[in-house]
Amino acid sequence: MSKHKLSVVRYRYSAAQTLAEILRSELDSSDEESNSDELDVEVESDIDEDAVETAEEVADEIGVNDIDVDDETPAANNDDGDSDTTVDYEPPAAQFAVNETSSPADDDTPDDNDNDDVMWSRCGSIAWRRRCPPPSRHRAHNVLSEQSGLRDGVQFETIDDAFRIFVDDTMVDHILRCTNKHAAEIKTSSSTFRWNELSSSEFYAFLGLNLLAGVQKCRNQRLDELWDEQWGFPVYRATMSLQRFTNILRALRFDDKSTREQRIRDTGNQAAAVQEIFDMFRFKCRSSYSCGPSVTIDEQLVNFHGRCRFRVFMPSKPGKYGLKMWLMADSDTYYCADAQLYAGKVGGLADVGQGKRVVLDLSESISGSGRNITTDNFFTSYALATELMGRRLSLVGTVRSNRKEVPSEMLPNSTREPYSNIFGFSSDSFTLVSYVPKRKKAVILLSTQHEDSSVAADNKNKPEIITYYNGTKCGVDVLDKLVRTYSCKRATRRWTLALFFNLVDIAAYNALVLWITANPDWRPRHSGARRLFLRELGTSLTSSHALERLTRDSGKRRRIQSCARLSGLTTDSGSSLPLQTTQNNGDGRRRRCSACPRHLERKTTRTCHTCGVSICKEHSGVLMTCLQCAEGPGPSTAASLSAEAPNDSDTG
C-alpha cells in the first residue's frame, strides 16, 4: 500500500495536540466516505535541534492503526467551521509515517523536509513557504487601469492659471471674508491700524510677493530691507506698500474665529482653524492630476516653534519641531496627490493603528486603479496589505522586525551570511523577503506586487523587491526637499499661517507639474526650470495689482511707475506706462523731483510735459522728433521739444 507524506500546519497548539486532532478527523472522514478495512498508521518522529518546544506534555500516547493518506482526500477539505484553524496538506513523493511506539516528545518535531519548506509567523497564523509559486497571470491589484496625466476638464492657458487651480476663487473668497471681518475687529480696537477692503487681485499679489521672496532666498529677511530702495527689490515697492503688506499678515485669517471653539468641541478637531481651506486644497489635488503607476505615502514636518496643541517633536527631521502632515506623492513626478494633517488625539483617545488608517484614508482617491503604494516600516503590515488588495492596490514596504507576521527565521542573527536572502510566499500571493546587507543585520520587506524570488545579477544578490522599493520610496522626501528649497514661509508665531504658506509652496510645485505636463517643450533640460517658473508665477500674480496702482490718483504714482519699470512689470514701449517728456519750467526755479526719495533732496528745473510735475533727468525721457514735426502740433509743443533737441546729436 502506498504511503504519502502529511504536511502539518500548527496554529496555537503543540505539535502533538495538532497531530492527534488531525488523525482523529481523518479517521472520521475515512469511515464516512468508504467502507474499506481498518488501516494501520505508523508515526515516525525524530528529535532534532530545530524542534518546537511544546507548551504542555501529552498524557497519553497516540495509539491508532496505520492509515494510508489518499491524495484525493486532503485535510484542507475537512472544514469544522473554525476560521482560525489552518491545515495544509501537500503530498510529495516522500513518505510520512506515524510510529505506534513513539514517545510524546518525539511527536513534537515534524519532518525535516517539511520544516525546511514552511516558515511560520510568530503569531502562528501565516504560513510562509520558501519555494516560489509557479508563474500565473497578473492579479487584479497589479493591473493599472489609469494613465498618468491631467484629469478631464482641467484646462489653463498661463502659469498663474495653473496655480489658481489649487488656490482657486472659492478658497480666496473664503479667506477674504474671514480676513476682512477680523481686520474690522482690529480696526475698532486699534487707532493706528489702517485697513481698506482686501480684494482678490491684491491677495494674489500678496501671495506673489511671498513666492518671489522664496525664489530670492530672502523669506526670512527683514521686511523693511525688502522695501528699501538700496537693498530691496523694486517689485515690492511697485506692488504694495510695506505697511499694507504687514497689515495683511496681521489680519490674515482662514475661519470665523467666533465659532471656532464650538466647532472644536463638536468635532474634537484641534485644526478647525484651517480645516475648511485644507479640505478645499485636498479636493483640488485629488481631482486635477492622475498619478503614475506608483505613489509614496510618508510624513512631512512643517517647521514651527510657536505654541500649538498638536506640535510634534521628530528628531530625525531637520527642523525637529513643527506640524506633521501625511502626504501621498507620485513616485515619478513628486506631485502631491493628497494630504492629511495630524491634529493630535481626537477626544483624548489614542489613535490605535494610525499607520493603517492613514494609508487607507489617503489611498481612497486611487482605489481600484491598480497602482502600487510604497511605505516605510511605520505603515507596512500584513493587515494593511490585505485591505489594499481588496481595493485593487498593491503594497511594497519595509517591515519592522517586531511584527508578529514575520517568522523567526528571517530575523537578523550572526549565522546568516552577508548578501543572503530568505524568501517567503503565502497563500494570499504575499511575498516576504529578508536580506542581509551586512553581518548581524537584516532588512525585511513585504510586497503584494512581486510573486517571485528574482535577485540582481551581481555579487550583492539584492532582491528585485528592494530595488523597486529604493526607486519609489522617495516621493514625499523629494517633494519636501523641493518645497523647502524655495519656500515662501516667513517666520511667524501663528501655526495657521505656517501651514497656509506650506500649502502655497505645494500648490506652486503642483502647478509646475501641471504646466510641464501640458507644455512638455517649455524649458526642456533647463537646470533652473523650477526657479524660472516660480519667478514668472510671482511676477504674473503681482502684475495685475501693480498695474492697478499705476492708474490711481496719488502723490506717489510716478514713483510706482518707476519701480514697475525697473522691476520689469512694465516697459517704456508698453501702453501701460506712458513715455515721459519734459520741458524747462518758465520761471527757472529749481524744485524737488517728485520721483526721487525725499532724503536725497534732488532739485531740478525740468517739469513733465503732460502733468507739469517736477522731474529730474534720471526719471524722465526725451521724445525723439524732427523740428518740422515739432512745429506741427503747436507752438508750446514745438518749443518744449526744441529745448530738448540740443541734448542729442542725432536730432534732425
- Span 474-532, pLDDT tens digits: 999 999 999 999 999 999 999 999 999 999 999 999 999 999 999 988 887 778 899 99
Q: What is the mean predicted confidence (pLDDT) over 412-417?
A: 90
Count of domains for the chain: 5
Residue 186 domain flag:
yes
- If asked whether residues 196 and 73 sit together in one domain, one would say no
Distances (CA, A) of 306 to 256, 260, 444, 474, 492: 22, 20, 39, 29, 8
- If asked whether residues 328 and 415 sit together in one domain, one would say yes
In the predicted structure, residue 147 carries a pLDDT above the cut 90: no
Question: What's the confidence (pLDDT) of residue 554?
Answer: 57
Cα–Cα dist 170/280, whole Å: 8
Answer whether 0.85 is exceeded by the pTM: no
Question: What's the confidence (pLDDT) of residue 366?
Answer: 93
Q: Which of 619, 622, 621 is nearest to 597 (CA)?
A: 619
Burial label for 85, CB within 10 Å (0-12, 13-18, 19+), is middle
pLDDT digit string, tens, across residues 81-107: 333 333 343 433 333 333 333 333 344
Residue 359: left (phi > 0), alpha (psi -120 to 50), or beta?
alpha
Quote the crossing angle between the two packed helices 495-518 and 475-485, to the nearest 10°. Answer: 110
Residue 284 domain flag:
no
Q: What is the mean predicted confidence (pLDDT) over 143-172?
A: 91
Residue 57 domain flag:
yes
- If asked whether residues 59 and 15 sit together in one domain, one would say yes
Residue 357 domain flag:
yes
- If asked whether residues 610 and 630 sit together in one domain, one would say no
- If asked whether residues 318 and 448 sit together in one domain, one would say yes
Question: What's the confidence (pLDDT) of residue 362?
Answer: 95
Residue 558 domain flag:
no
pLDDT band at residue 167, thresholds of 50, 70 and 90? Answer: very high
Q: Return the ∠ at Cα 558 (arms to 557 and 559), rounded to 5°.
A: 90
DSSP string, 389-406: HHTT-EEEEE--TT-TTS
Q: Who has greater pLDDT, 38 or 125?
A: 125
Domain that holds residue 387: 293-476
> How many Cβ atoms sit within 10 Å of the Cβ of residue 248?
19
Helix (H, G, I), strand (E, B) or coil at 354: helix
Cα–Cα dist 113/409, whole Å: 15
Residue 282 domain flag:
no
- If asked whether residues 591 and 630 sit together in one domain, one would say no
- If asked whether residues 63 and 180 sit together in one domain, one would say no
Helix (H, G, I), strand (E, B) or coil at 142: helix
Task: Work out the percent of the chain whose per-residue pLDDT is above 90.
Answer: 46
- If asked whether residues 503 and 444 sit together in one domain, one would say no
Q: Who has greater pLDDT, 106 or 410?
A: 410
**Which range is least confidently modeled, 31-40, 373-382, 623-632?**
31-40
Question: What's the confidence (pLDDT) of residue 346?
Answer: 73
- If asked whether residues 192 and 77 sit together in one domain, one would say no
Question: What's the confidence (pLDDT) of residue 263?
Answer: 92
- If asked whether residues 537 and 427 sit together in one domain, one would say no
pLDDT band at residue 571, thresholds of 50, 70 and 90? Answer: low
Q: Which of 446, 447, 478 is nearest to 331 (CA)?
A: 478
- If asked whether residues 428 and 449 sit together in one domain, one would say yes
Distances (CA, A) of 434 to 145, 413, 457, 465, 472: 31, 12, 18, 10, 19
Residue 551 has phi, psi (to 5 degrees) of -95, 0
Q: Which of 383, 386, 423 is nearest to 404 (CA)?
A: 383
- If asked whether residues 306 and 356 sit together in one domain, one would say yes
Task: Work out the percent of the chain whose per-residue pLDDT is above 70.
Answer: 71
In sequence order, what E strands does 556-647 have?
A: 582-584, 591-592, 603-604, 606-608
Helix (H, G, I), strand (E, B) or coil at 189: helix
Residue 417 domain flag:
yes
pLDDT digit string, tens, across residues 440-461: 899 999 999 998 888 988 888 9
Residue 527 domain flag:
yes
| C-beta of residue 166 within 8 angstroms of C-beta of residue 512 | no
DSSP string, 607-631: EETTT--B--STT-B-----HHHHH
Question: What's the confidence (pLDDT) of residue 625?
Answer: 56
Q: Who has greater pLDDT, 317 or 594?
A: 317
Question: What's the confidence (pLDDT) of residue 48?
Answer: 40
